[in-house]
A and B are shown apart, each in its own frame.
Chain A
Amino acid sequence: MSTTTTPVLGHPHSIHPPGVFTAAWVIAGRTVGSWREQLATVVITWLFPVFVTVLFLGLFGGALRVPEGTAYVDFLVPGMLAVTMLFGLETTTLSAAADSALGINDRFRTFPIHSAAIVLGRCLADMLSSLVGLTVMVAFGFLLGWRVPDLSPGSASAALALLLLLRFALLWIGLYVGYGAKSVASVAYVQILVWPLAFFSSVFVNPATMPAWLGAVAEFSPVSATASTVRGLLGGTSWPNVGIGGEFAPVLAVAWPVLLTVVFLPLAARRFRDGAVDRRD
Chain B
Amino acid sequence: MVAIEAEHVGKSYRTEGGDVGLHDLSVQAEAGTVLALLGPNGAGKSTAVRGLSTLLSFDRGRARVAGHDIRTQAREVRERIALVGQSAAVDDQLTATQNLVLFGRLRGMGRADARARASQLLDQFGLSEADARAVRGFSGGMRRRLDVAASMLVRPEVLFVDEPTTGLDPMARRDLWQILRSMVREGTTILLTTQYLEEADALADHVILLGHGEVIAEGSPDRLKSMVGPPVIQLVFETGAQADLALSAIGRTVKGAVLRDLRTVAVDANHTDVLARCLEALRDVSASPIEVSMGKPSLDDAFMRLTGHQTDAPEEEA
Contacts and interface: CB of A to CB of B under 8 A. Distances in A.
B171 to A, nearest CB: 9
Contacts of A108: 106
B204 to A, nearest CB: 19
B125 A1 contact: yes
Given A14-B79, A18-B108, A281-B43, A38 B93 contact: yes
B105 interface: yes
B13 A23 contact: no
Interface string B21-50: 100000000000000000001111111001
A277 B13 contact: yes
Given A2-B126, A17-B106, A104-B89, 13 more contacts: A1-B145, A3-B174, A6-B124, A14-B79, A15-B154, A26-B102, A26-B106, A34-B91, A37-B134, A102-B88, A107-B83, A107-B89, A280-B21
Nearest to B120: A8
Contacts, number: 147
A112 B91 contact: no
Contacts of A1: 125-127, 145, 175
Query: Is chain A's binding surface mostly helix, strand, loop or mixed?
Result: loop
Nearest to B145: A1
Interface stretch (B176-184, B219-227, B232-240, B300-308): B176-184
What 8 pairs across the A-B complex have the smallest Cβ distances? A1-B126, A103-B89, A34-B93, A10-B155, A9-B155, A276-B56, A15-B108, A103-B85
B47 A280 contact: yes
19 contacts: A1-B145, A11-B117, A18-B108, A26-B106, A29-B102, A30-B91, A30-B98, A37-B94, A103-B86, A104-B90, A110-B54, A110-B55, A111-B78, A111-B103, A276-B56, A277-B56, A281-B20, A281-B43, A281-B44
Given A7-B182, A7-B183, A281 B46 contact: yes
A256 to B, nearest CB: 32
A208 interface: no
A7 B117 contact: no
B72 to A, nearest CB: 15
Contacts of A216: none
A41 B46 CA distance: 35
A258 B138 CA distance: 43
Interface in B96-146: 98, 102-103, 105-109, 113, 117, 120-121, 124-127, 134, 145
A154 interface: no
B126 A102 contact: no
Interface in A1-44: 1-3, 5-12, 14-18, 23, 26-27, 29-30, 33-34, 37-38
A113 interface: yes
Interface in A52-84: none
Q: B interface, how many residues as a size bin?
A: 35 or more
B135 to A, nearest CB: 9
Interface string B41-70: 111111100100111100000000000000
A280 B42 contact: yes
B76 to A, nearest CB: 8
Contact of B154 (A6, A11, A113, A277): A11
A5 B83 CA distance: 21
Contact of B124 (A8, A16, A38, A102): A8
Contact of B125 (A3, A7, A9, A38): A7
Given A11-B117, A103-B89, A107-B150, A3 B108 contact: no
Contacts of B44: 281
A247 interface: no
B106 A23 contact: yes
A26 B105 CA distance: 7
A278 to B, nearest CB: 9
Interface string A237-266: 000000000000000000000000000000
Contacts of B20: 280-281
Contacts of A12: 155
Nearest to A3: B178
